[in-house]
Amino acid sequence: MTNSTNEALIRGLYEAVNKKDLKTISAFGAPESEWLDVPFNFTTYGVDAIIDPWKSWFNIFPDATCEVRSLVALEDYVIAQGIGRGTHKGVFNSPAGELQPSGKSMQVNFCDVYRLKDGKIMRADSYFDFYGLLKQIAPEKLA
C-alpha cells in the first residue's frame, strides 16, 4: 500500500475514535495484530487487539477524543502525534492502582506508531504521558 493510503487509513482510525465508531475501529484488527500500551508494558494480541484498548479507554473516558497534530507515513509505518482529551468517569485499573472516577478533565500527549499490512494494523505501539495524566486525575497518588 502507498504512503498516502496508509496515512488515510490511520486518519480514518482517529476519526472513528472521535465518533466512538467501534465497528470501524474493530475492522483494523487481524489475527496477528498486536497493541502495546508502552506506559503499562501491556500487549494485547489477536483480532481484538486494536478494539480492546480503545473500548477500555472509552469506558474510563467516555467523551475521549484524539486531536492529531502530526501524522507521517513511510511505507508500512505511520506515526501519529497528538493530544488525547477526556473526562475521568470510569474506573481506571492503572499501574498506580485502581483509580475511581474523579470527574476531572484531562489532556495527554500521545505518539502512536503503527505498522500496517493490507489495510490492517499488525502492530501499534502507543506512547502517552501517564505521569501527566495521573497528575490531572489523581494527584493524591503522587504524594
For residue range 37-94, what is the model confidence (pLDDT) as tens digits? 999 999 999 999 999 999 999 999 999 999 999 999 999 999 999 999 999 999 999 8
**Confidence tier at 3 by pLDDT (50, 70, 90):** confident
Residue 70 β-bridge partners: 81
Average pLDDT (12-24) is 98
In the predicted model, is pLDDT for residue 1 greater than 70? no
pTM above 0.85, yes or no: yes
25-30's contacts with Cβ under 8 Å and 24+ in sequence apart are: 25/50, 25/51, 25/54, 26/50, 26/51, 28/119, 28/120, 28/121, 29/120, 29/121, 30/117, 30/120, 30/121, 30/122
In the predicted model, is pLDDT for residue 134 greater than 90? yes
> Dihedral of CA 60/35/10/12: which sign?
negative
Comparing 8-17, 41-50, 134-143, the range with the smallest average pLDDT is: 134-143
The grid coordinates listed for 37 are: 500500551
**Arithmetic mean of pLDDT over the chain:** 96
- Under CATH, to which class is 3-138 assigned? alpha beta
Residue 32 confidence (pLDDT): 98
In the predicted model, is pLDDT for residue 143 greater than 80? no
